[in-house]
Amino acid sequence: MFWTPELASYLEDAPWPATKEELIDYCSRTCAAQQVIDNLLELEDNDELYEGMEDLWPEYESAVDDLYFNEDEENDDYY
């Protein structure tokens, strides 16, 4: 499974908490990138409820923080 902040953004408005099948259905209906669906297909087949993106990608919060930190840093160069 390979996640990036861009791929994770497809699940921002997902109906959390959700099962694997509900997330796949949501991604199919919202035309998410195929890599997002492929990542979800790699999850174990069970009825586990995922509470948010952090359940799928534990490093999600730090990846998003790093992304925004770098954007702020780049914008500072223009002032």
User: pLDDT tens digit string along 40-79?
Assistant: 999 999 889 999 999 999 999 888 776 665 555 555 555 5
18 bridge partner residues: 50
Listed by start position, the domains of the chain span 5-76
Q: Tell me the residue length of the chain.
A: 79
**Stretch 26-37: mean pLDDT:** 98
CA–CA distance, 40 with 10 (Å, rounded to integer) = 12
Q: Give the CA diameter of the chain.
A: 52
CA–CA distance, 15 with 40 (Å, rounded to integer) = 15
- pTM over the 0.85 mark: no
Give me 44's structure tokens.
Answer: 């174990």
pLDDT at res. 9: 95
Alpha helices in 1-79 (DSSP H): 5-9, 20-29, 34-41, 53-56, 60-76
